Structure 1
Amino acid sequence: MGVFTYEALDNKGRKHKGVLEADSPRQLRQKLRADGLAAVAINQAEEKQAKAGKSSGQSLFKRNASDAEVALLTRQLATLVAASIPLEECLHTLAKQIQKPHLKSLISSVRSRVLEGQTLADSMAAYPKTFDTLFRAMVAAGEKSGHLDTVLERLADYTEHRQKIKGQLIQAMIYPAILTLVAIGVVTALLTAVVPTVVDQFTHMGHELPAMTQALIAASDFTRDYGLHIVITILVLLILRQRLLRKPKHRLTHDRILLKLPVAGSVFGGVDCARFARTLSILTSSSVPLLEGMKISADVLVNTHMRESLRQAADRVREGTSLWRALDQTLLFSPMMLHIIASGEKSGELTAMLARAADNQDQQFESQVNIALGVFGPLLIVVMALVVLFIVMAILTPMLDLNSLVSG
């Protein structure tokens, strides 16, 4: 049985689009005819995916499922599996409930592979952009252990938590960026449009201007003469940076330097440390071996330097080193996280302690973000006020001097 996308017309000439399963296009036309629809175009979804290119890792359509959509699908599937319904029927029911075409095609195609005899994890492997290595490894462990519903619930919780952290990171970066761009835009507008108009009347008088006003005129001339060149240079540097980061060697160096930055380094490093601990906790609780769990947990990290360091830590654990000592040698984890992980190893509660370490790191991240946002906004406003005050004083000073000369 295959998955087909179709376009059809009803009796009133209205167009309908959708996704259905059928053994052949002919059978699909019969299904549509029974529903009062006349097929206009029928395409096999698998062929579309093949044309898109398997190496690209894209799903059936150009649009990939978001983390929120994946979390919802996973939780719904967990509920159906927990009801002791056969897996293919669970997937069929889930596909019928979904309204969005790209998600319906995704689940229908996964079900088709399951009907062909593949495991759920292997069926999901065809869509790596939607179901990553961690997701598939946990599903495989759940299928082997017979606790697929529990594993799917954990995956839904993890995906929702990851979406929350991602949203916090975006907020932490967007808010300062917007404030900075607005501040730069206001200052640039003052220097290029307002200041020249006001100051020109003083320069024609031949009167010696104060040092503050001369500095303002110089800044205004520099902005008008070289402002566009500076913007173009910054854009070119950003493009070059993106191209250089495509090379693994340069990416590794960049990520290593990023971790050494005063504030951003600790924030981004802490987020990845928490992600590693939480992922490893979920994997070990799903009966995935520790070494395999460490490798999978390392692969989900964003920072390539941390990824390589934790892969080396996994090699040390294979050689007999305890987990917390191997992590300590990476110089990436805070003493608190290492202490919690060491306690988990000694007490035999490693899974729970890893989750606690991740929670502790997440709380620290949230507090750092709140403090940074609370400090940056007022600080930028103060800086803007000082800049505007400087511009106003540079304009008013020669005007006051002129009034003094006229009155004298």
Structure 2
Amino acid sequence: MGLFLYQARTGKGELQKGRFEGANSAEVADHLLAAGLIPVDISALPDPVEFNLGEVLGKNRAQSIGIVELQLFSRQLHTMLRAGVPILRALTSLRETSINPGFSRVLAEINDGLGQGRELSMCLARHPKIFDSFYLSMIRVGEMTGRLDNVLDRLAVHLDFERRAREMVKGAIRYPLFVVIALMVAMLVINLFVIPAFSKVYAGMNAELPLMTRFLIATSTFTREYIHFLIAGAGVALLGFIGWKGTDRGRYNWDRFKLRIPIVGKILRKSALARFARSFALASKSGVPILQVLTVVAAVADNRYYADKIGNMREGIERGESLLRTATLTGVFTPVVLQMLAVGEETGELDNLLQEIAVMYEQEVEYEISTLSQQIEPILITALGAMVLVLALGVFLPIWDMGSKTFGH
């Protein structure tokens, strides 16, 4: 028996945390499902005496399953079910052909659970780190409606979108982050090596230096004398930021701040809206009730700020308000999305209209990222120009003054 930490959501989407003693994570998952909870995360507390870091890291590497592999699994299982292959035989075939040993073990456990009479959704729920609440909710709907193969096909399309969205967002952030780091490194090199070389030359002149030169020399001297404290302070600040971002409130504020960053913020907002629209359309088209739709969409949101706003929408609908009104009160949806929500509620074509919104915003995100370098170039040129101007004035003004005095005499 071991002690496990778990996180699970109620039928209303509320997050619950606690501890449970069991033989393995599967037993804990069964206990949570029997209590009407959807497992989100189950992790074992290691024994401090027998804990082996190398074994744990090796096990995690073997069992790491990316979104591409999950997408491939959904697509292959959909194809085999549509062809009439029994699900036990299909999972056996997928387990035998899987190149990931960790995923093979997971498929073997799922197959064993199905052989014992459990539903597929219950077997998948034993592995919350692989199959999230959105995936589980869709599988459960497919089982209830008898359209599991169609749901798996839509999940494969959805996972492909998620993969592309994450890659696009990472691509949007990578370039400006590289530019900022390059500027910081350039400033550090100038302060540590360039300015000290010139300050030795000016020291022998016994002349009053211009304000800009004195400022550069003072900055360089401070950097060289306190470089260790600056590095230690930066490290402490980084660790503090990581710890703060790991809290619920910190993650909420950070995700909200990212949306306000110039240029990058609008890409993140459009990506979040595309993810909301596609997830909502997929769940709604599969027959998921509206309240459960908002619950799973909030869970799959990659931004805590948007997830909180979507949760507010669910609470508003529970009070009897319309979807359009609750969406308007959040203040995070564009007029185009609100218009589509209004028309969708009136015509009953909400899922199709949101699908169109998702495609539109995906195309806009791709366009914004393709032109990102053009948008950042003016900022980069301005920053580099300002840095060169300050450096040139600080270095050459004393020489200019000396020449003026020499020719003046």
TM band (smaller chain): 0.7 to 0.9
With structure 1 as the length reference, what TM-score do the two structures score?
0.80
State the Cα deviation string for residues 121-143 of structure 1 (Å, max 9, x = none): 11111111111111111111112
What is the match of residue 282 of structure 1?
282
Residues 212, 309 of structure 1: alpha-carbon distance in 2 compared, 3 angstrom cutoff: closer
Distance 1:252 1:180 in 2: 24
Contact between 2:172 and 2:264, CA under 8 Å: does it hold in 1? no
- Structure with higher RCO (Cα < 8 A, 6+ apart): 2
Aligned residues: 363
Unaligned runs of 5+ in 2: 1-21, 30-40, 45-55
Provide Cα deviations, 1:19-74, integer angstroms capped at 9, x if missing partner.
xxxxxxxxxxxxxxxxxxxxxxxxxxx98867999832899941321111111111
Match of 2:309?
A: 309
Measured after TM superposition, the shift of residue 186 of structure 1 is: 1.5
- What SS does the corresponding residue of 1:55 show, helix, strand or coil? strand
C-alpha change, 1:250 and 1:100, in structure 2 (3 Å) is: closer
1:401 offset after TM fit, Å?
4.3
**Structure 1 counterpart SS, 2:208:** coil
Cα distance in 2, alignment partners of residues 379 and 254 from structure 1: 23
Is 1:55 paired with 2:33? Answer: no
Q: What code does the residue aligned with 1:146 have?
A: G
How does the TM-score come out when normalised to structure 2?
Answer: 0.80
Residues in 2 aligned to 1:140 and 1:114: alpha-carbon distance in whole angstroms: 14
Per the alignment, residue 135 of structure 2 pairs with 135
Instruction: Provide structure 1 residue ranges, at least 5 long, that are not aligned to the other structure.
Output: 1-45
Give % identity: 27
What is the distance in 2 between the residues matched to 1:167 and 1:255?
Answer: 18
- Residue 6 of structure 1 corresponds to which residue in structure 2? none
2:70 corresponds to which residue?
70
The question of whether the paired residues in 1 share the 8 Å contact of 2:210 and 2:397 is answered with yes
**Aligned pair in 2 of structure 1 residues 322, 183: CA closer, same or farther (>3 Å)?**
same
Rounded to whole Å, the distance in 2 between the matches of 1:51 and 1:125 is: 11
Distance 1:182 1:308 in 2: 35
Q: Map 1:4-83 to 2 at 5 A.
A: 55-56=42-43, 61-63=59-61, 64-83=64-83
Per the alignment, do residues 250 and 382 of structure 1 end up closer, same or farther by CA in structure 2, a change over 3 Å counting?
Answer: closer
CA distance in 2, matches of 1:60, 1:129: 17
CA shift, 1:182, in A, is 1.4
Structure 2: which amino acid aligns with 1:55?
I
Contact 2:26 2:126 in 1 (8 A): no
Bigger shift: residues 191-200 or 242-251 = 242-251
Distance 2:367 2:176 in 1: 16
Contact 1:270-1:365 at 8 Å conserved across structures = yes
> 1:382, CA displacement in angstroms?
3.7
SS at match of 2:330: coil
CA distance in 1 between counterparts of 2:396 and 2:134 reads 64
RMSD (CA atoms): 3.0
Distance 2:193 2:262 in 1: 37
> 2:166 matched to 1:179?
no
Q: Does the aligned pair in 2 maintain the 1:134–1:297 contact within 8 Å?
A: yes
Distance 1:260 1:170 in 2: 17
Amino acid at match of 1:207: A
2:60 partner SS: coil
